[in-house]
Amino acid sequence: MIQEIDKYLEEVKSFETKDLKELENFRIKFLGKKGILNQLFAEFKNVPNEEKKLFGQKINQLKQVATGKVQSIKENLENNLEEQGSQLDLSRPGYPVEIGSRHPISIVKNQIIEIFKNIGFNVSEGPEIEDDWHNFTALNLPEYHPARDMQDTFFLQQNPDWLLRTHTSSVQTRYMETHQPPIRTISPGRVYRNEDISARSHCIFHQVEGLYIDKGVSFADLKQTLLYFTKEMFGKSKIRLRPSYFPFTEPSAEVDIYWGLETETDKRITKGTGWLEIMGAGMVDPNVLQNMNIDPEEYTGFAFGMGIERIAMLLYQIQDIRMFYENDMRFLSQFKPII
């Protein structure tokens, strides 16, 4: 009996084929329902007790070797066939490719760009490592101007004339350097401030700057442009401009939108007033135009600047600004897929 199994073992070990059909016959012969192995297992009860242990080991070995053999020949043959392309199965499911999603900051940024593009604004960019002139001085913020303290600045150690831009208003000055009016541009980008990180503020965030310079641009144009933007962006059609101060605009305003007081969330985020501040704006200060060699007697303009995180937090009801930078897939995958 044992000898018989050894003989089968030899047969199985030396079996080779390049034909799937032959392989199937081999499988049925050894591993099929009425195959050799099942017959041997059935034989087990008739084996004398002292031989049972060895017999058991042998048939288990035979089973293992036969199963392994079938498997490996099958894989080999299939791989070969697939390489040759003769058995390419186009109906097989594809490899799972996960569809990504846009980062919420990108979604909101693109939306803002789209809205302003529709009224003739182009998109411009500037460097994140900026010099003092473009970030401060040219924007009517000369050295020792107290308003410089409004924005805690990261200076570069090697050269204190260089800094990480504190706002995208620096792109205004870069743009005016190389372009003559009429100017209609928006500048999205990353900005840096030396601030403690909390749920409300971060040392890195994003802004979009807007600049419009031409003959006869008035405060009414600014107001109408912002109203158009808030309607498109938030579907809200009531805004108010509160007098404020920015060194680069005169007059300056803070822009609020009327968010409403319908839900508990509305009440919470507007602190019970219904109003939400969304950006700073104003008429470009004549000093800024002069600094950039644009004649303030001939041209006027308006500018505005807003934080993208703030808008994304409002639109998606995100409570903690740090979520944007933590690369947590559970957070990021909630935003709409690209397609």
Comparing CB distances to ligand DAH, the nearer of 26 and 185 is 185
- 175 is a site residue for ligand DAH (CB under 6 A): no
CA distance 62 to 281: 84
Burial group, residue 30, by CB count within 10 angstroms (0-12, 13-18, 19+): buried
According to CB under 6 A, which one of 63, 69, 109, 167 is a site residue for ligand DAH? 167
Q: Shortest distance, CB of residue 303 to ligand DAH, whole angstroms?
A: 3
- 304 is a site residue for ligand DAH (CB under 6 A): yes
Q: Give phi and psi for 63, each to the nearest 5.
A: -65, -45
Site size toward ligand DAH (CB under 6 A) is 11
The dihedral through the CA atoms of 119, 122, 126, 132 has a sign that is negative
Q: Shortest distance, CB of residue 83 to ligand DAH, whole angstroms?
A: 60
According to CB under 6 A, which one of 305, 309, 313, 321 is a site residue for ligand DAH? 305
Comparing CB distances to ligand DAH, the nearer of 140 and 270 is 140
Closest CA to 104 of 336, 305, 307: 336
Q: DSSP assignment, residue 103?
A: -
- What are the DSSP calls for 265-324, one per residue? HHHHHTTTSSEEEEEEEEEEPHHHHHHTT--TTT-EEEEEEEEHHHHHHHHHT---GGGG
Closest CA to 107 of 310, 312, 306: 312
- Which residues does residue 206 pair with via DSSP β-bridges, in sequence order? 190
Comparing CB distances to ligand DAH, the nearer of 104 and 307 is 307
Q: Which of residues 193-222 bind ligand DAH (CB under 6 A)?
A: 209
- 282 is a site residue for ligand DAH (CB under 6 A): yes
- 247 is a site residue for ligand DAH (CB under 6 A): no
According to CB under 6 A, which one of 124, 135, 169, 173 is a site residue for ligand DAH? 169
Comparing CB distances to ligand DAH, the nearer of 254 and 266 is 254
Q: Which residues bind ligand DAH (CB under 6 A)?
A: 167, 169, 209, 246, 249, 280-282, 303-305
